[in-house]
Structure 1
Amino acid sequence: MLKQQLQFKLSQKLSPQQIQLMKLIQLPTQAFEHRLKQELEENPALESGKEESSEYENEGLDDVSHDDYDNETINAEDINVDEYLSDDEIPEYRLQANNYSSDDDEKTVPYAAGTSFHQYLLNQLNTFRLNDEEREIAEFLVGSVDESGYIRREISDIVDDLAFTQNVFTSEEEVEKVLLRVQQLDPAGVCARNLQECLLIQLERKTPTPSVDLAIDILEKSFEQFTKKHYTRLIQKFDITEDELRNAIHEIERLNPKPGGSYSGNNRIIEHVVPDFTIRIVDGELELSLNGRNAPELHVSREYNNMLKGYKDTKKKSKSQKDAVQFIKQKLDAAKWFIEAIKQRQETLYVTMNCIMHHQEEYFLTGDERKLRPMILKDIADTIGMDVSTVSRVANSKYVDTPYGTKLIKEFFSESMKNEEGEDVSTREIKKILETVINEEDKRKPLTDDKLAAILKEKGYPIARRTVAKYREQLNISVARLRKEI
């Protein structure tokens, strides 16, 4: 049975302008510059630089309505809005030609031509004497190398793929034989199937010495004991002294576990961080400044404003002029809103970072991470009277240049814990102390998580062993057994 029902409910929706403002706030400096350039290209009523005359006002905009239409026509010489629009509809960059003469300076930016890692390996194959089948297998093996320089596939799978994709029917023994040839490529250790094989390939290329020979024996016969740092068992098994073992381990530590990563021509993109804020200490006081690239000088086109005023002063208005002026009004409104949005973005960024700076004043004055106070997004949001999501947008993607280096703002946020005196301390402070204790430990007898928890308790931070383990993992520090040295 169908029923009709009337229901009232309150709902809150963000306007398109509010959504765009939130997106602007979230953008870091470089992305903001790109967005600004895009807006300048798309909106001819928006101009950069200082304005020579008075700023654009909204006067007369509301007077444009559908009631202004009439059937009367006017002469072209009275007002022709098309004349105003003819030059501005085509962006300036489209009017520029690239017809530079031969004696002009080079206008293009040169790009470095690089060779990919796989191409680098293939080029080396040209120096090998291989028959047609061996070359196809070798090229297939090189194509199976990952970015780290390893072939992480079973030989049987490679044999099957050669048959199905390359129409090359071969055996595992033949592939193994070609693989040994391919493993002679540079950098040393490339085309290995696992870490053990990678390290052995590199050691076998070294000049034979007692330390190198011992290192090869250890990796071939006791790789698992070596990785687990069972040094006492290794000394007993190979009947060697601690110094001999130490020298062999030193040879292994000098090897490259990822030979592919050492290739300089892999054309990886290098990211450059542009700080959005700068904090300086001037006469013992903190001074905050916003990157000038976040505060561009923009104004509404004077020519477009004059076009609208000219239309307002005209007594007789045609429909075509009305349509053109509606377009002008739309562009002027968009330009005015964009300018206001940028000002609001600047204010939001500055107010948020200023609050963070004063909340963490002790840290910014000393640079000691143990001085970081507990701080969550809600603390800042409540202080500046903004929403938590707004603070999150500022913190997640912005960087600040401090006297102690460029930092991601979200790194200053941390949870709090109680110390023995009942005071709130930052978990960052506890992690820093934990890291210091581990760095100062005797590496011959590293501290277990239980002992670390006991030391922290003595220092006034009563935390459980499992919490110590969690913080240690967050700091990328291994367990005690793997930190052991001889």
Structure 2
Amino acid sequence: MKPSLVLKMGQQLTMTPQLQQAIRLLQLSTLDLQQEIQEALESNPMLERQEEGEDFDNSDPLADGDDAAGSPPPENTYQETQSSVENLEEVNDWSERIPSELPVDTAWEDVYQTSASSLPSNDDDEWDFTARTSGGESLQSHLLWQLNLAPMSDTDRLIAATLIDCINDQGYLEESLEEILESFDPELDIELDEIEAVLRRVQHFEPVGIGARDLRECLLLQLCQLPEDTPWRSEAQRLVGDYLDLLGGRDYSQLMRRLKLKEDELRQVVELIQRLNPRPGSQIESSEPEYIVPDVIVRKHNGRWLVELNQEAVPRLRVNPQHAGFVRRADSSADNTFMRNQLQEARWFIKSLQSRNETLMKVASQIVEHQRGFLEYGEEAMKPLVLHDIAEAVGMHESTISRVTTQKYMHTPRGIFELKYFFSSHVSTSEGGECSSTAIRAIIKKLVAAENAKKPLSDSKIASLLEEQGIQVARRTVAKYRESLGIAPSSERKRLM
């Protein structure tokens, strides 16, 4: 084909940096948003916090002329203080006009950075690497700390450090003593008995039961460290040492015959064993705790459910009127241009926060409208809800709803829930209605809690009980819901009365 030049006319939506900022702030969690706001306050002299008790003008300076007087800003959003400085209105004449509504609705394929903490600050001197990469104390570091306090020879300390390195996160020794012996230099002349002796010393470290080679040894270590006058301690040691497989199979009749115990006595022995920790290493957290700050608060007032933003989670911002007054309209010097750009960025940032809160309020209000039954009666009254339902109600794309509900939390009288918790698939009922999967899980949990401990309900029995309530669920679906709730199969739920 012969190359040629073709002139075409068309329209295309351009994602400006300001619009990208608004969309990115929309999908930030509260903790990430707080960090983003702090960075903006440190980098932009035009921004300042709105302190409590200060006079605050509710008029919107972002609108021009008659637009500001015609419609007050929505409640529970960030407000920019109306400056009394005369030339601030003149700045609005030449500065880029900010629209009353930002088009933050986006499609699935639009991807933006979601975490403010994942990017280092521009100031390398103030960027704290350890603050962003440090984690909690690991099990190995906890054991090595105890090893440093224990009096040992250099050889024993080397053996102990090697043993600790072979302990997994659950607290069990993964390698056999023979394999550990082969890993040492033959010139050290280390014998298997030495490794066995050092292992016994490591097994006395905290947490109790650490360094065991199997479940039986782990439980026995914990029982041995209980006071000698602990009731049923010796019987529990015998059960764990000789008949742990019968306990795992719930063969209580065989256990009563072997141990020569009555049913009530065996029950107390089993209860003592159940108080032990089969995974002692899990007591040491290896990651930083995650804190949840609710974005939305839901409460009932005079019979109505009210939705409001958590104003204490994020500081209120405004343009500093004194700094804004330094901007001169006709001055094109470098300093004045810098201040003019900072002022415009501050106004865009505040508007982006307003847009974020307005969108969050719209989505949260629709969720509360759909899930009033949950707020009134609990999980069993949860209605089926998908992203499309909320997207259609607020007039936005499903991907926008997904971004708004991710890492956003709602404080309700029933607890704090992520907004995504209120979305669930549905199952048809015999009467032609629908029941949400969350409600079915709640019913299964209730049935299991009320079952006979000697004859627990099987998945097939639970499916038949649900069918009696008009909910048609297959046995494999019941098994899937049961596993998601962390409920063991019926064969493992069998208990002594």
TM bucket, shorter chain: 0.7 to 0.9
> Equivalent residue for 1:58?
92
TM-score by length of 1: 0.78
> Which deviates the most, 442-451 or 242-251?
242-251
Q: Aligned partners of 1:160 and 1:459: how far apart in 2?
A: 63
String of CA shifts for 1:415-438, please: whole Å, max 9, x gaps: 111111010111111111111011
Decide which of 205, 214, 229 is 2:250's aligned counterpart. 229
Do structure 1's residue 125 and structure 2's residue 125 form an aligned pair?
A: no
> Equivalent residue for 1:46?
47
> Equivalent residue for 1:162?
184
Decide which of 216, 226, 242 is 2:237's aligned counterpart. 216
Q: Aligned partners of 2:238 and 2:156: how far apart in 1?
A: 31
String of CA shifts for 1:15-40, please: whole Å, max 9, x gaps: 33333222211222222121111012
Aligned partners of 1:414 and 1:426 also within 8 Å: yes
The structure number with the bigger radius of gyration is 1
Aligned-partner residue type, residue 362 of structure 1: G
Do structure 1's residue 440 and structure 2's residue 433 form an aligned pair?
A: no
Deviation for aligned residue 1:203: 1.7
> Equivalent residue for 1:109?
none
> Equivalent residue for 1:72?
none
Aligned-partner residue type, residue 93 of structure 2: E
Aligned partners of 1:26 and 1:393 also within 8 Å: yes
String of CA shifts for 1:199-250, please: whole Å, max 9, x gaps: 0112233427783333223322332332232323434444543334323212
Aligned partners of 1:311 and 1:325 also within 8 Å: no
> Equivalent residue for 2:411?
401
Identity among equivalent positions (%) equals 33
Aligned-partner residue type, residue 46 of structure 1: L
Q: Aligned partners of 2:137 and 2:469: how far apart in 1?
A: 54
Deviation for aligned residue 1:274: 1.5
Note the 1:268-283 alignment, pairs <5 A: 269-283=288-302
> Equivalent residue for 1:375?
385
Deviation for aligned residue 1:380: 0.5
Aligned-partner residue type, residue 417 of structure 1: V
Q: Aligned partners of 2:393 and 2:463: how far apart in 1?
A: 35
Aligned partners of 1:29 and 1:293 also within 8 Å: no
Relative distance call for 1:3 and 1:186 in structure 2 (3 A) is: same
> Equivalent residue for 1:192?
212
> Equivalent residue for 2:350?
339
SS in 1 for 2:22: helix
Q: Aligned partners of 1:215 and 1:258: how far apart in 2?
A: 18
> Equivalent residue for 1:477?
487
Aligned partners of 1:117 and 1:260 also within 8 Å: no
Decide which of 177, 186, 192 is 1:172's aligned counterpart. 192
Relative distance call for 1:337 and 1:132 in structure 2 (3 A) is: closer
Aligned-partner residue type, residue 25 of structure 2: L
Q: Aligned partners of 2:92 and 2:470: how far apart in 1?
A: 63
Note the 1:242-281 alignment, pairs <5 A: 242-262=263-283, 269-281=288-300
Gaps of 5+ in 1: 64-93, 95-112, 313-320
> Which deviates the most, 152-161 or 455-464?
152-161
Q: Aligned partners of 1:62 and 1:348: how far apart in 2?
A: 23
Aligned-pair Cα RMSD in Å: 3.2
Aligned-partner residue type, residue 212 of structure 1: R
TM-score by length of 2: 0.76
Aligned-partner residue type, residue 190 of structure 2: T
String of CA shifts for 1:313-355, please: whole Å, max 9, x gaps: xxxxxxxx44444433322221221111111111111111111
Relative distance call for 1:13 and 1:453 in structure 2 (3 A) is: farther
Do structure 1's residue 149 and structure 2's residue 150 form an aligned pair?
A: no
Deviation for aligned residue 1:458: 0.8
Q: Aligned partners of 1:187 and 1:62: how far apart in 2?
A: 62
Aligned partners of 2:210 and 2:281 also within 8 Å: yes
SS in 2 for 1:180: helix
Q: Aligned partners of 1:46 and 1:233: how far apart in 2?
A: 75
